[in-house]
Amino acid sequence: MEFEYDLNNIEKASELVLKSSKSNILLFSGVIGAGKTTLIKQLCKNLGVIDTVNSPTYNLINEYITKESTVFHMDLFRIEKIEEINNLGLLDYLASKNKVIIEWPEIIIDQLNQNYSHITIDYIGDDKRKITIKNR
Ligand SMILES: Nc1ncnc2c1ncn2[C@@H]1O[C@H](COP(=O)(O)OP(=O)(O)OP(=O)(O)O)[C@@H](O)[C@H]1O
Ligand SMILES: [Mg+2]
C-alpha cells in the first residue's frame, strides 16, 4: 500500500496508516527529517491522544493517554546496543496490547517476535512524501 501526501493532506496519510496496519506495533523508517514525527503527531491526533506529542529523541520513550488507551512513542536513533533497549522495558511494551510507535526501528526489526506494521517514508520532493505500509 502506497500513498503520496504533503502537509495539507497528511490526515489522509494518517488515516490510511491506521486503516491499513494490522498490528498494534507501528514501525516508522525514513531518513532524518523525512517526517516520521510529523506523521506520528497526526496519527496520535486521530487516535484521540490528549497530550502534546513531541519527538522522543532525548527521553527515548513518550507515553500518551487517550480516552480508552495508552500510546507509547519511542525513538531508537540513539540506541547503540540492543541491551539498552531491554533496559528500557521495550519488550514489555511490545507484549502489551497498547499501541507502540517506534521511530528508527532498524536495530530491533530482525529480533521482533510479534507481527508489526512497517511504514516507510520517502522524499518525493519539497513537501511531498510517500508512505509505504507493509504488514509483517
Ligand atoms: N509531507 C510532509 N510530511 C512530513 N513532514 C513534512 C512534510 N513536508 C514537509 N515536512 C517537514 O519536514 C520536517 C520533518 O521533520 P520530522 O521531525 O517529522 O522528521 P523525522 O523523520 O521525525 O526526523 P528524525 O529522524 O530526526 O526524527 C518537518 O519540519 C515538517 O514540517
Ligand atoms: Mg523524529
124 lines ligand 1 (CB under 6 A): no
Predicted pLDDT of residue 2: 96
Cα separation of the two ends of the chain: 13
Mean pLDDT of 29-56: 95
Alpha helices, H only, the chain: 10-20, 36-47, 82-88, 90-95, 106-109
Dihedral sign (CA 113, 92, 37, 79): negative
Mean pLDDT of 1-24: 97
Q: What is the CATH number of the domain that holds 114?
A: 3.40.50.300
* DSSP letter, residue 104: S
C-alpha cell at 33: 527529517
Mean pLDDT of 19-28: 97
Mean pLDDT of 86-112: 91
How far apart CA 115 and CA 136 sit, in angstroms, is: 6
What residue numbers bound the domain in which 44 lies? 2-135
How far apart CA 78 and CA 132 sit, in angstroms, is: 24
Residues measured by CB to lie within 5 Å of ligand 2, the ion: 36-37, 55, 103
The per-residue pLDDT for range 55-85, each reduced to its tens digit, is 987 778 999 999 889 999 999 999 988 888 8
CA nearest 38: which of 16, 55, 63, 18? 55
Predicted pLDDT of residue 90: 86
Question: Which pLDDT band holds residue 86 (cuts at 50, 70, 90)?
Answer: confident
Mean pLDDT of 98-108: 96
Predicted pLDDT of residue 26: 98
Mean pLDDT of 111-129: 95
Concatenated DSSP letters of 21-56: --SSEEEEE--TTSSHHHHHHHHHHHHT--SPP---
Separation of CA 35 and ligand 1 centre (Å): 3
Predicted pLDDT of residue 36: 98
Ligand nearest to C-alpha 35:
1
Predicted pLDDT of residue 89: 84
The domain tally of the chain equals: 1
Give the angle subtended at the CA of 22 by the CAs of 17 and 23, to the nearest 5°. Answer: 100
